[in-house]
C-alpha cells in the first residue's frame, strides 16, 4: 500500500517537473568519527558532569560527536562557543588544548558574564561569556581572532538573518580556522515518515517552549536539509571539510522509510536527524550575502 502511494506521488512530482534526484543532496564528505574516538568523548562527558543533567543525558551522543569534529588547538589557539551552556566549553581547554576559550550568548551587546563550574578533579573551570545578538550585532572580536568557532544548535533558532552570523563567524576566524556547526535535519528518515503519514510536523523539533518551567529559549524557526546547509556555508565563503548525519535517540520511528526510499530510487544518504559539519573559510571567497533559496528577493 505504502509503496503504491509513493509510486503515485513520485509520478505526480515528475509530471510537475519537480526534480527529486540523487544529485539533490551533497555526497557525504567524510564518514562519522570512529567508534573508539566517540567512546572516549562519551566517557569524558559522563565524568565531567557539567551543566543540566537531564539535558546532558539526552544530548550526550550529540555532544560527543560534535567534539570529535573539533580540531586540536594550534599553539596559542583560541576558541569561541556560540550559545554557550558550559557543556562543551570545558572540553575545548581541558581536552583539546585551546589556551583561551570564550563563550557567547544572546543578550545586550557590550556586556559579559563570568561562569564557572567545579570539575570532578576539584579544579574550577572559568569562562567569559560575551552577550550580543548573533544575527544583528557585530561580534565583539577583531578579525582572525579565533582558530575555532562552535555554532551548535543555533542556526535553526535564528529568526531574521542567519547569513549575518555566518559572515561574522568567517570574519573572526583566522585563516585555516575551523567552524563546527550542528543543526537538525528536516530531510531525515523521521521527517520523511511524518510527511508520508501526515500526522506530525516534519521538523524534528517543532513545538513551542512551554511557558511554565522552561528556560525561555526560542523555538525552532527553520530547520535545514544537508543540501541547504552546504549551500548556505558556500554562500558565506566556507568550504566543507566534513559533513555527515546521525540518528537522535527517541526519533528512530519509521526505519521502513529507508527501504522505501531505496526501492523507489530516492537518495538514502544523509538521513539521520542530526547534521554535523566541519567547515573552513575559503581564501578570497565572494560572499553571496542573501542567497535566493533562503531570502525573498
Instruction: Please state the domain count of the chain.
Output: 1
- Per the domain annotation, does 41 fall within a domain? no
Q: pLDDT tens, 207-217?
A: 888 887 655 67
Q: For every one of its 297 residues, what pLDDT tens digit does the chain have, with 9 covering 90 and above?
A: 555 655 554 554 344 333 333 334 455 566 788 888 888 898 888 877 655 666 666 778 899 999 999 999 999 999 999 999 888 999 999 899 999 999 999 999 999 999 998 877 777 889 999 999 999 999 999 999 999 999 999 999 999 999 999 999 999 999 999 999 999 999 999 999 999 999 999 998 888 888 876 556 789 999 999 999 999 999 999 999 999 999 887 776 677 888 899 999 999 999 999 999 999 999 988 999 999 999 998
Q: Are 226 and 294 within 8 A, CB to CB?
A: no
Which residue range(s) make up the domain with 180? Answer: 47-281
Note the pLDDT of residue 5: 55
- Per the domain annotation, does 201 fall within a domain? yes
Q: Is 136 left (phi over 0), alpha (psi -120 to 50) or beta?
A: alpha
Rounding to the nearest 10 degrees, give the CA dihedral for residues 45, 242, 280, 68. Answer: 20
- Per the domain annotation, does 256 fall within a domain? yes
Q: Are 96 and 72 within 8 A, CB to CB?
A: yes
State the angle between helix axes of 189-197 and 2-15 in degrees (0 to 180), rounded to the nearest 10.
Answer: 90
- Per the domain annotation, does 188 fall within a domain? yes
Residue 152's nearest CA partner among 88, 216, 92 is 88
Note the pLDDT of residue 18: 34
- Per the domain annotation, does 127 fall within a domain? yes
Q: Are 239 and 249 within 8 A, CB to CB?
A: no
- The CATH number covering residue 93 comes to 3.40.50.150
CA distance 127 to 134: 19
Note the pLDDT of residue 53: 65
Note the pLDDT of residue 151: 98
Note the pLDDT of residue 14: 42
- Per the domain annotation, does 290 fall within a domain? no
- Per the domain annotation, does 30 fall within a domain? no
- Per the domain annotation, does 191 fall within a domain? yes
Amino acid at each position: 500500500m505504502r509503496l503504491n502511494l509513493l509510486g503515485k506521488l513520485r509520478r505526480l512530482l515528475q509530471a510537475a517537473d519537480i526534480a527529486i534526484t540523487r544529485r539533490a543532496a551533497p555526497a557525504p564528505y567524510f564518514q562519522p568519527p570512529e567508534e573508539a574516538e566517540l567512546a572516549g568523548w562519551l566517557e569524558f562527558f559522563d565524568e565531567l558532569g557539567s551543566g543540566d543533567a537531564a539535558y546532558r543525558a539526552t544530548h550526550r551522543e550529540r555532544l560527543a560527536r560534535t567534539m570529535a569534529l573539533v580540531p586540536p588547538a594550534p599553539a596559542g589557539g583560541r576558541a569561541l562557543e556560540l550559545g554557550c551552556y558550559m557543556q562543551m566549553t570545558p572540553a575545548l581547554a581541558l581536552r583539546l588544548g585551546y589556551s583561551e576559550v570564550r563563550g557567547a550568548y544572546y543578550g545586550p551587546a557590550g556586556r559579559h558574564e563570568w561562569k564557572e563550574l567545579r570539575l570532578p578533579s576539584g579544579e574550577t573551570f572559568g569562562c567569559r561569556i560575551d552577550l550580543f545578538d548573533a544575527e544583528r550585532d557585530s561580534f565583539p572580536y577583531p578579525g582572525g581572532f579565533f582558530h575555532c568557532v562552535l555554532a551548535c544548535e543555533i542556526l535553526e533558532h535564528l529568526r531574521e538573518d542567519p547569513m549575518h552570523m555566518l559572515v561574522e563567524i568567517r570574519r573572526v576566524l583566522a585563516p585555516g580556522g575551523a567552524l563546527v556547526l550542528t543543526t537538525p535535519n528536516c530531510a531525515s528518515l523521521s521527517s520523511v515518515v511524518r510527511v508520508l503519514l501526515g500526522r506530525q510536523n516534519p521538523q524534528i523539533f517543532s513545538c513551542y517552549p512551554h511557558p511554565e518551567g522552561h528556560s525561555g529559549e526560542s523555538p525552532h524557526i527553520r530547520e535545514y536539509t544537508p543540501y541547504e546547509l552546504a549551500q548556505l556555508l558556500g554562500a558565506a565563503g566556507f568550504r566543507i571539510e566534513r559533513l555527515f548525519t546521525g540518528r537522535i535517540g527517541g526519533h528512530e520511528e519509521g526505519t521502513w522509510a529507508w527501504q522505501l526510499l531505496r526501492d523507489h530510487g530516492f537518495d538514502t544518504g544523509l538521513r539521520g536527524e542530526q547534521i554535523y559539519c566541519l567547515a573552513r573559510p575559503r581564501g578570497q571567497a565572494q560572499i553571496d550575502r542573501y542567497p535566493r533559496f533562503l531570502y525573498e528577493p
